[in-house]
Amino acid sequence: MKKNIVKYYPLIPVLAVYLIMFLIGFFMPGMWQMVALLAFYCALGQSWNIFMGMTGYVDFGYVTFIALGTYGMSLGITYFSQFEWLGMGIIVIGLILAMFLAALAALLEAAIALRLRGAYFAIACIGINEGLRYFIEGAKIWGGSEGLIFFGALTQSLGRETVNQLTTFWADFSVFVIAALAAFLNMHYMRSKIGYALTAVREDEDAAKVMGVNTTKYKTLAFLTSGLLGAAVGAMAWGLKLGHVYPGDVFVIHYTIECIVVVLLGGAGTLLGPVVGGLIYGLSKYWLAIIMPGFQLLIFAPIIIIIIVAFPEGVIGVLKQRVKRTALEKYIV
Amino acid sequence: MALLRLENVTKRFGGLIAVNNLSLEIQEGEAIGIVGPNGSGKTTLFNVISGVFFPEEGRVIYEGKDITRMPSYKRAPLGLGRTFQIPRPFGSASVRENVATGAMFGTLAGKVSVDDCLEIADRYIQLVGLEEHESKEALTLTPVEKKMMEIARALAMHPKLLLMDEAMAGMHPKDIDKTVAFLKKIKEEEGISIVAMVEHIMRAVVGFAERVMVIHQGKKLVDAPTKEALEDQRVVDVYFGHAAGEGNAKG
Ligand SMILES: Nc1ncnc2c1ncn2[C@@H]1O[C@H](COP(=O)(O)OP(=O)(O)OP(=O)(O)O)[C@@H](O)[C@H]1O
Ligand SMILES: [Mg+2]
């Protein structure tokens, strides 16, 4: 039993960072916005890393899940807020719809794209993302290119005061919860059979098969987990918080790129990496936008490239090597 | 009932016939050597048995069951284990984790916990003499250490039939003797049938195999008890005819 708890020690630094972030945001006036932004990047990085870090497959279409999560919440509120007796239940319905859409997409995408490797996989995922966006716009489902605007409906159903609390606090708070959940799942996968199977897949997929690893099953599991978590972030941080959704806003590859940068900065395949990556990325983006609005990308892009080239293992990847055979080894993974 | 039976198996790559109408029976507990010149189809034969490739013709029967088109990942839990001619370690994982992976997804799959597998791994790591390297990343091992690790990983699968593809190539004669010795021991203790292709390393063939199959251009040339097979005139002609120098030097 003791041994089993020790295995989960690397969760301590991760959860500690999340707790500190939360406390800063909660108690220091004016900090909540920034802390929420950081949590958003940490949560997305952590979620994306479960699939990419463990399997080595780069899902360029990851934003599909965030977008579908946003749509799930939006549809839930749009169509169910008329039933006043549901109360807060509409948010639960939205979340369920978000999970359902993301699971459907993940299983479909897994059936189609996960047979492919390397660049073919990446391109197939982008294709599916773009296809979905144009399908929504072209077939005019879910509001087509006009999107869904449901802030009014939400207010009418739950009242101004509640909605205000939901959008300014609980939506952000739930992102913290999702980030912690993602960390826990990632840790659990790493320490179980699933982690061994996925490491084998990442290092040599054909050899893994010969060793008895049902590669499709484990890849799909990681893909699904990663997708569902991304969808949860979309549902809360975009859907519930903003009160509207447009296809042109959410099916945007730019957000996938942000996930990739967060994970690579911190260290792909590590547990603490996406947290550190999310903090570095989020903070730099936030401050650069204040110091030199408009120019941030000009400075930001080269800095990121330099860091990634200099530390391909990411900050935590490097640190992990440093703390080998020290007392910290148990905590940094 | 034979443990494994190949019936008229043919595997082609485009116009090239790598394995040509080959039949073979392996009984439980046998130790078989497979020899043949470079490119004669030995590795391809293993790939057909382990499900990396499906044959165009013929059948593969394992424990009475037709597994010709069974995906490779389903074969390991049935007891088919193998090593690769060019080692294929899971590079970023430690030696211990590599070997434990074998235990986790082999015949013990579903019956053992991760911790059990790590303990099983320790046993086989000790057997092949890699204790000191246990926590190293597998990619940092030397080629011979990688081969040793592959043997440990395959043994940890607790296979009924172990296919070793030139696992002893490049090893020091002393290590070959040691490896042959523990393979023999483990074969008796755990009832594993072992098929090892040993090619030029006569030291291993003679020391290990009770029976030898010689293949030439994808066809079975001779299949007989070791001494008889190696003295067969046809074998001397096609195989040792041009590889005699090397064979003798290493043997
Ligand atoms: N994947 C493949 N695609 C095309 N041709 C292949 C493939 N694998 C093997 N071959 C060809 O099949 C023939 C048999 O190769 P194989 O590797 O089975 O021989 P081998 O007896 O193991 O040789 P060696 O002693 O060099 O390991 C060779 O001519 C080889 O080039
Ligand atoms: Mg070969």
The greatest distance separating any two alpha carbons of chain B, rounded to the nearest whole angstrom, comes to 53
Q: Is the pLDDT of residue B246 over 80?
A: no
* Percentage of chain A exceeding pLDDT 90: 79
In a domain, B232, yes or no: yes
Mean pLDDT of the region B80-89: 95
Atom of ligand 1 nearest to the CA of B37: 25
In a domain, B235, yes or no: yes
Give how far A273 is from chain B: nearest CA, Å.
17
All residues with CB under 5 Å from ion ligand 2: B 42-43, 85
**Ligand 2: centre distance to CA B40 (Å):** 8
> pLDDT digits over B90-125, tens only?
999 999 999 999 999 999 999 999 999 999 999 999
Which one of A1, A192, A194, A196 would you mutate to disrupt binding with B, by most B Cβ within 10 Å of its Cβ? A196
Atom of ligand 1 nearest to the CA of B199: 25
> pLDDT digits over A217-246, tens only?
999 999 999 999 999 999 999 999 999 999
Q: B66: which residues sit within 8 A by CB, 6+ positions away?
A: B59, B60
- pLDDT-derived band of residue B193, with 50, 70 and 90 as boundaries? confident
**Pick from B71, B76, B92: CB nearest A211:** B76
Q: Is the pLDDT of residue A277 over 70?
A: yes
CB contact under 8 A, A204 and B88: yes
Most confident of A43-52, A297-306, A322-331, B235-244: A43-52
Q: Cβ of B74: how many Cβ atoms within 10 Å? A: 14
> pLDDT digits over B231-240, tens only?
888 888 876 5
Give how far B240 is from chain A: nearest CA, Å.
32
Q: How far apart are CA A253 and CA A66, in angstroms?
A: 11
Choose which residue among B22, B38, B44, B54 to substitute to test ligand 1 binding: the one with the highest number of ligand atoms within 8 A of its C-beta. B44
A3 shares contact with chain B (CB less than 8 Å) = yes
The 3-state secondary structure of B89-130, one letter per residue: CCCCCEHHHHHHHHHHHCCCCCCCCHHHHHHHHHHHHHHHCC
A275, A266 Cβ separation under 8 angstroms: yes
Q: Is the pLDDT of residue A77 over 50?
A: yes
Q: Cβ of A28: how many Cβ atoms within 10 Å? A: 11
In a domain, B248, yes or no: no
ipTM of this predicted complex?
0.90
In a domain, B71, yes or no: yes
> pLDDT digits over B171-184, tens only?
888 998 999 999 99
Give how far B107 is from chain A: nearest CA, Å.
9
Q: Is the pLDDT of residue B127 over 80?
A: yes
Q: How far apart are CA A100 and CA A105, in angstroms?
A: 9
Residue B244 has a pLDDT of 44
A173, A181 Cβ separation under 8 angstroms: no
The residue among B86, B91, B50, B80 whose CA lies nearest residue B68 is: B50
The residue among B14, B6, B15, B16 whose CA lies nearest residue B57 is: B6
Residue B1 has a pLDDT of 83
**Ligand 1: centre distance to CA A196 (Å):** 30
> pLDDT digits over A96-122, tens only?
999 999 999 999 999 988 888 878 998
The tokens for A95 are 């979340």
Q: Is the pLDDT of residue A93 over 70?
A: yes
Cα–Cα distances in Å, from B27 out to B6, B50, B203, B212? 12, 17, 24, 13
Mean pLDDT of the region A301-329: 87
The CATH number given to whatever domain includes residue B175 is: 3.40.50.300
Q: Among all residues of chain B, which has the CA nearest to that of A196?
A: B101
DSSP state letter for A271: S
Residue B250 has a pLDDT of 38
DSSP H helices, A143-214, are 151-158, 160-165, 171-191, 193-203, 205-210
The tokens for A122 are 């990446």
**Pick from B93, B109, B153: CB nearest A199:** B93
Task: For residue B10, list its beta bridge partners.
Answer: B57
Amino acid (1-letter code) at residue B75: R
- pLDDT-derived band of residue B200, with 50, 70 and 90 as boundaries? low
Q: How far apart are CA A235 and CA A249, in angstroms?
A: 14
Task: Say which residue the tokens 């246990």 belong to.
Answer: B134
Q: Whose CA is nearest to atom 3 of ligand 1?
A: B13
CB contact under 8 A, A211 and B153: yes
Atom of ligand 1 nearest to the CA of B47: 18
- End-to-end CA distance of chain B, in Å? 35
Ligand 1 neighbours (beta carbon < 6 A): B 13, 16, 18, 36, 38-44, 85, 199
In a domain, B14, yes or no: yes
**Pick from B50, B73, B157: CB nearest A214:** B73
The residue among B237, B216, B186, B171 whose CA lies nearest residue B34 is: B216
> pLDDT digits over B12-44, tens only?
999 999 999 999 999 998 999 998 888 999 999
The residue among A59, A97, A271 whose CA lies nearest residue A182 is: A271
**Ligand 1: centre distance to CA B39 (Å):** 5
In a domain, B178, yes or no: yes
Q: Which domain holds residue B167?
A: 4-79+159-239
CB contact under 8 A, A199 and B92: yes
This prediction has a pTM of: 0.92
Domains held by chain B: number: 1
A203 shares contact with chain B (CB less than 8 Å) = yes
More confidently predicted of A206 and B188: A206
* Percentage of chain B exceeding pLDDT 70: 93
Which residues of chain A are within 8 Å of residue B106 when distances are taken between CB atoms? 211-212
The tokens for B18 are 């790598």
**Ligand 2: centre distance to CA A200 (Å):** 23
Give phi and psi for B80, each to the nearest 5.
-100, 115
In a domain, B55, yes or no: yes
